[in-house]
Structure formats: C-alpha cells, structure tokens
C-alpha cells in the first residue's frame, strides 16, 4: 500500500547487461507537480518507462492511486487514469489534430462515450491554436504546436496523473514559455503532474517538488523554494555559475535522504 498518488519503491531495471536504475525511489502526492532532474544518462526517462509499464522493473514496486501496479499492462494503467506526454511528443503525424485527440480519449470513450464531446470542446477552448488547426495533419505542425497537441492528447482521457517526458527538448525559447504557461494552467485544473526535464530552470519554475537523479538513484529531494542550492548545483553538474540564479528561487535547504 502507499499513500502517495504515485510511488516508485527501490526500482531497478535496465537493458541486457546494463543496469540503469539501482533501487530508485520517488513519489508524487496528489495535486503536486513533481519534477525529476538529472544529467543526461542518469535514467530519468527510464524511470518514466517503468511508471508507464513500457519497461518491466527487475525489482522493486510501482504504486499508483495506492495500488501495486508493477505487473499491470500499459493499457490498464492508462485506463486507471495515467495520461502520458511521451518524450519527443510522438504525435500521430498522419492523423489530424482532432483524430489525435480522439485517440487520446480512447479509454474515456470506452468508459463513457457521452463525456467525449464536452471534454474535447473544453480542451479546444483552452488550446486555441489546436482549435484553429483542428483538421490539419499533426505532422505538418511546428515543434511548439506539436507539444501543445501532445499535452492536450494526454489530457483527453481526464487523467488523475499526467506523466510528461522532456517537453522542452528542441523547442524555441518562445515555445518553452508558452508550454510553461500551459502546464501552470493545467495544474490549476487539479491534474497532478510528474515532469522529467533536462532544462533545470524550466523545471524549477514549474515544479513544486524536485527529485534529483544520478546514475539510476535519487540523490536529493526537496520542495522548490527551500533547496540546498550548492548541493543541487553540484548534483546537476551546473557548477557555481548557475548557483547564483538558483539562489534567487530557492530560499532554504531540506535535509536529503
């Protein structure tokens, strides 16, 4: 049992002979935006694959809504309320925006077809650029617009938890700014978000809580606003240069695990 919305407990996994996660544990409480930070190759995205069920955990457990879902298939986890915004967005290029959204609502339409119309209209309202390009093929849209579509698609199944993997990669600063606002708005509607992001400042702006991962383990966890900036800077290999900007946004440190 677990009292968090989502919890990873001592998960280790990897590919073939290489172990990537060595007993990684972190948790996301209801209504929170949790960020997972770390350098390239630290295993951030791999941990999301375990959360989603795409990658089996060699050992350890995954809890969602308090239930042990380690052995559960991807489809079932989505049905229980886990929405995804995959790495590199992975929108369906040959489908129109609406078809992408309709597919995003696959589990919703199986649960309760009548709600589909209202959820769709609600989202189109909130994402005007998608409303304009409703019948445009997703493949022909810009990186930023595709990111919006991916987020909207993730929300179409009215998830309790939205898992977002490196949304800012390859986006222009302007698009990153828009994405930041969108995530803020989405969070206000009460959706819990688990965010993996390589862009440190972006994460610190968005997340409430931060878990720092290094070589497959969580080495630091703290509420944004009272982070031990030097330790965080060191873990993130950002060095003293950036600690100045970190200080501005993180008042007091929290004891590490």
Using the minimum distance from each CB to other proteins, give the nearer residue, 29 or 208.
208
The correct pick among 238, 253, 254, 256 for binding other proteins (CB under 8 A) is 238
Q: Does 248 bind other proteins (CB under 8 A)?
A: yes
Q: Which two tokens stand for residue 28?
A: 């996301």
Using the minimum distance from each CB to other proteins, give the nearer residue, 75 or 252.
75
CB 3, min distance to other proteins, A: 26
User: How many other CB atoms are found less than 10 A from the CB of residue 14?
Assistant: 15
Q: Does 75 bind other proteins (CB under 8 A)?
A: yes
CB 81, min distance to other proteins, A: 10
Q: Does 41 bind other proteins (CB under 8 A)?
A: yes
Cβ 235 vs Cβ 241: under 8 Å = no
Site for other proteins in 118-137 (CB under 8 A): none
Q: Does 229 bind other proteins (CB under 8 A)?
A: no
Q: Does 56 bind other proteins (CB under 8 A)?
A: no
Backbone angles phi, psi at 221, to 5 degrees: -145, 135
Using alpha carbons, select from 104, 94, 95 the residue that is nearest to residue 124.
Answer: 104
What's the length of the chain?
257
The DSSP string of 100-161 is: HHHHHTHHHHHH-TTHHHHHHHHHHHH-HHHHHTTTSBGGGS-HHHHHHHHHHHHHTT--SE
The correct pick among 65, 137, 169, 223 for binding other proteins (CB under 8 A) is 169
Which alpha helices (H) appear in the chain, and where do they start and end? 44-52, 74-79, 97-104, 106-111, 115-126, 128-132, 143-155, 173-188, 200-206, 229-235, 240-249
**Residues at the contact surface with other proteins, assessed by CB under 8 A:** 16-18, 39-42, 52, 54, 73-75, 78-79, 84, 86, 90-95, 99, 102-104, 106-107, 109-110, 153, 157, 166, 168-170, 172-173, 176-177, 180, 198-202, 205, 214-215, 234, 237-239, 241-242, 244-245, 248-249
């Amino acid at each position: 049992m677990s009292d968090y919305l989502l919890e990873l407990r001592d998960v280790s996994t990897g590919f073939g002979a290489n172990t990537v996660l060595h007993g990684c544990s972190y948790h996301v409480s209801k209504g929170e935006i949790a960020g997972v930070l770390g350098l390239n190759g630290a295993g951030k995205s791999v941990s999301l694959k375990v959360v989603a069920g795409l990658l089996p955990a060699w050992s350890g457990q995954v809890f969602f809504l308090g239930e042990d879902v380690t052995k559960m298939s991807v489809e079932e986890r989505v049905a229980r309320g886990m929405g995804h915004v995959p790495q590199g967005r992975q929108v369906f290029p040959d489908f129109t925006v609406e078809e992408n959204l309709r597919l995003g609502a696959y589990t919703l339409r199986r649960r309760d077809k009548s709600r589909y119309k209202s959820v769709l209209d609600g989202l189109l309202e909130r994402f005007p650029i998608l409303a304009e390009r409703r019948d445009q093929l997703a493949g022909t849209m810009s990186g930023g617009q595709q990111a919006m579509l991916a987020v909207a698609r993730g929300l179409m199944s009215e998830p309790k938890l939205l898992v977002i993997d490196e949304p800012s990669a390859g986006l222009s600063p302007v698009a990153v700014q828009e994405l930041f606002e969108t995530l803020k708005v989405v969070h206000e509607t009460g959706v819990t978000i688990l965010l993996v992001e390589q862009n440190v400042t972006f994460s610190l702006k968005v997340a409430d809580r931060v878990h720092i991962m290094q070589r497959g383990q969580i080495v630091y966890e703290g509420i944004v606003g009272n982070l031990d900036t030097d330790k965080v800077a060191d873990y993130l290999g950002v060095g003293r240069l950036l600690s100045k900007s970190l200080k501005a946004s993180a008042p007091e440190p929290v004891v590490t695990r």
